[in-house]
Structure formats: C-alpha cells, structure tokens
Amino acid sequence: MTKKLRVKPIMTDKEISSKEGEYFDESHYTIILNSDTDVYTHAGDLLLKFRKGVLDVEHGMEIAKQLKTAAKKTHENRGASAGELDRNKLANYIGDLVTPGKFRTRFKSTKTGILSKQATSNLSPSNIIGFFDRPDRNLKGKGAPCRLTAFNRDHPEIWQMVLPFIKVCDKQFKKLTPERYKIQYKQAQLVDKFAIDGTSFSTVTINYSWRTALHRDAGDLVEGFGNLIVLKDPTNKNDYDGCYTGFPQYGIAINVQPGDFLAMNVHEWHCNTEFKPKHTNIIGKWSNREIVNNWYFNRLSMVCYLREKMIRCKNMRSDKVQLLQTKKSKNMLFNVIKNYPRPDTYMEFTKKLGYLKSSITRALKTTDPIIINLSVSNYYSYFVYYYEDFTDDNTPKNTAKFLKTLNILIGKFNNFDSANQTLIDNFKKKLL
C-alpha cells in the first residue's frame, strides 16, 4: 500500500538558501523513506513519488557496466552541487584562487600562470548523455544551439544499448505522475529531434559515487519532473549504506536502492547524505583523489529530465554535423568552418558565399590543383554546413546555382580531391 505524507518545512527559505553548496548528514532528517510513498508539501504541491523494486536490477547492472567509464569522468562545472571549494576536489592545474566564492572561483593556472577566463567549481564524477541545449563551447560560437552530447557522438553503440532502459524509466514516470508527464512529453516532442527516442526526456545526468551538496537543478523544465534511478556497478565490490537523497528543508530523505524509482521536484533544495562503507578495506585500484573524496563506491545514479531551452530549436532545420573537438581533427568540414564566423542573417551567409566563390575564380587562374581544391573545399563546406539555416524564397535558386557551379569547376581540372567529390555526390543525392 502506498503511503501519503504531507510535510512542513523545518527551515525557512532564507535559512535553506544560505546553506547552498553545503552537506546535510543523515542525522538531520526525521523521516527516511524505505517504502512506496507519495509526498506533498504543506501547500499541497507534489514533492516526490517513490516506488520500490519496479525496475529490473539485473538490467540496471548491465547498464551500469556500459556507463561507468563515462560517469566517472570528472567535470568542474557543477557549481553548488559539487560543494564548497576544496583543494582535494580541484583540478591539479588550478593554482592561486582569485576572488573565490563559496563554490566557484577564478584562478591562475599552475602551468601558464594565466588568469582563467571562466570560474571553476570542484571536480565531480558526473557527465551528461542524450542531448544538450547549449552550443559546444569548443566551437566558439559556431555550433548549433542544440546538439548531441559528446557521449552520444563518440559512443553511439553504447547509447543504443542504454536506450531501452531509459524508455522503461520513461514509462515509470508516465505511470507515477501522468499530469507532469503529459506536460513534459508534449514539450519534448515539439522538438522531437532532440528528444530521446519518443520519450519525455532530452538528457540524462549520470553520476558515479558522487555525494551532491545542497542545490536546486537549473535548466530543467519547471513544469516537468526529475527522475532518479540508482544502479549498482557489478564490477565494483565497494558496497555502501547511506547516500540517501534528501530534501533538508522538509527533513525527509529517501533510501533509493537499485530497482527503485524516484520522481522528484528537482527545483526544491536537495542533496545526498554521507556514504557509509560496508567494508573496512577499499577493494580495487583507486587514485588518492578518488579515495579521499569517496568516489570509489559502486553507486551509479541516473537523473532523467527535459532541458527547458530545447524549445529554442523547435524550428531549427538542421541539427548540424557533430564536429570533432580536437585541434588535430581530420574532419574537413570542421577545419573549414572553424575559420569563419557564424552568419546571423541570410545576407551575411550569401555575402560570405560570394567571397568564397570569388576565391575559386582566383584559384582557377593559378592552375595549381592544390589551391583549387582548397578553394572548392572552403566554398562547399561553408554552404553545406549552413544552407538549411537560411530558407527564404531564394534558397532553391541558390542551391541550383551552387550545384551548377560545382559541376563546371569539376570539369575544369582533373586533380579534384576524391574526398570532396564523394561529399558533393552525397549532397546532390540529398537535394535531388
């Protein structure tokens, strides 16, 4: 039988907000849930719904094996959830802290001595998979506003293995909170190319043995809900108790175990309690940083949600090519696009095309096949990357001119690069 609880705050809004980035131990909580329960705030708003044993534990362990490497990868952009600044959790290249805050700071690099342009937080074993509603910062403003995560780009085969489990979680969300689900699903499917395969989710955050500090999630759909699942990494023998998911303002925490499902309002203040190791010895090989910060337990958590700003990409006609993020990239398209500012208007787009076309004319006068190939590559790459973003009445005509120009150019010299020819052929098939 499902219990229903109504909880009153034991801390004021001012008191709880002043604790942002801090930890609350298990002793803080007067209620720890271990059975099916629906919890509402004193105002009648749904805080959470918790269900025991509704997911396949064995399936979850298989998913944990696939995701553990990605989840262990540390990032320094988690803000308050990563806790107050701690040298044990800061990257090795961070030297003197400059105007540090509670959980973010600028710094001077120990390698270059240069002051950082961006603030950093503690490192956290946490990553995202699925889609994201911010441009790839490595492309310096030239990337699409919505995109695949690096995980999906680099590991499509693992993503396909994980996808069925995410769909099971989506069904649980729908079953538990149908009203919230309906709103979130509708919003997700308005931008279906950035929704996770017919679900209400766009993104999944995966964490490995990470105790989060007090925070409220940002960037999630306010009218939606976060969905927490805990998996056990079967390759790791370091069992634990604790690490409950807590809402300290209400004095309530939830003991989420593998197989359980928690739908929760992530816009309320929440965090985790401490880990309690079940073994005296630490099993396996772990770095000193991992040991000091308790990043060695076999807990992998997943939070499934919808990024609120995905809706910006509703009318985006192309999700772009996911370009490689390395300076040594062999991707021809990337190596061209990174040299030109992103056009904001159709006029800017056609103006740059005109310039690149004139470069081809000049190159043809040299009769140098290398220069000609480079000029054609630049023109082609710029066009194919941006043409779908600028759709007005002139676009079909410009497309036809583009193809005609390429056919003429190809006929003028014999040493045309075969990679370019293949790209052009594929592009023609797409258009015609």
Per-residue model confidence as pLDDT tens digits over 273-315: 999 999 999 999 999 999 999 999 999 999 999 999 888 887 6
Domain assignment present for 100: yes
pLDDT of residue 137: 60
pLDDT of residue 406: 53
**Helix, strand, coil fractions of the chain, as percent rounded to 5:** 40, 20, 40
Indicate if 137 and 110 belong to the same structural domain.
no
Q: Given 313, 347, 382, which residue is the final one in a domain?
A: 313
Domain assignment present for 96: yes
Indicate if 150 and 250 belong to the same structural domain.
yes
Of 222-226, 366-370, 387-391, least confident by mean pLDDT is 387-391
Domain assignment present for 327: no
Indicate if 298 and 238 belong to the same structural domain.
yes
Q: What is the pLDDT averaged over residues 116-123?
A: 91
Whether 337 has a pLDDT exceeding 80, the answer reads no
Q: Tell me how far CA of residue 149 lies from CA of 60, 136, 153, 318, 321, in angstroms.
A: 22, 9, 6, 16, 12
Give residue 222's domain range: 3-82+127-313
Indicate if 269 and 309 belong to the same structural domain.
yes
Q: Taking the alpha carbons of 203, 86, 88, 90 in that order, is the dihedral positive or negative?
A: positive
Domain assignment present for 322: no
Indicate if 74 and 104 belong to the same structural domain.
no
Q: What is the pLDDT averaged over residues 343-362?
A: 81
Domain assignment present for 9: yes
pLDDT of residue 294: 97
Indicate if 307 and 386 belong to the same structural domain.
no
- pTM reported for the whole predicted model: 0.75
Indicate if 100 and 177 belong to the same structural domain.
no
Of 250-259, 280-289, 371-380, 415-424, least confident by mean pLDDT is 415-424
Domain assignment present for 105: yes
Q: What is the mean pLDDT of the chain?
A: 86
Q: What is the CATH number of the domain that holds 264?
A: 3.60.130
What gap in Å lies between CA 38 and CA 315, rounded to an integer? 38
Whose CA is closest to 262, among 43, 54, 18, 22? 54
Domains held by the chain: number: 3
Residues 6 or more apart in contact with residue 317 via CB below 8 angstroms: 388, 389, 391
Indicate if 57 and 106 belong to the same structural domain.
no
Indicate if 88 and 193 belong to the same structural domain.
no
Domain assignment present for 144: yes
Indicate if 376 and 277 belong to the same structural domain.
no
In this prediction, residue 395 has a pLDDT band, given cuts at 50, 70 and 90, of: very low
Strands in 252-254's sheet, in edge-to-edge order, are: 31-33, 252-254, 245-247, 271-272
Indicate if 270 and 389 belong to the same structural domain.
no
What gap in Å lies between CA 258 and CA 5, rounded to an integer? 23
* Residue 231 token pair: 């998996």
What gap in Å lies between CA 327 and CA 354, rounded to an integer? 28
Whether 73 has a pLDDT exceeding 90, the answer reads yes
Q: Given 313, 342, 360, which residue is the final one in a domain?
A: 313
Judge whether 374 and 409 are in contact, CB under 8 Å.
no
Helix (H, G, I), strand (E, B) or coil at 21: coil
Q: Given 69, 99, 120, which residue is the final one in a domain?
A: 120
pLDDT of residue 293: 97
Indicate if 109 and 254 belong to the same structural domain.
no
Judge whether 29 and 273 are in contact, CB under 8 Å.
yes
Domain assignment present for 352: yes
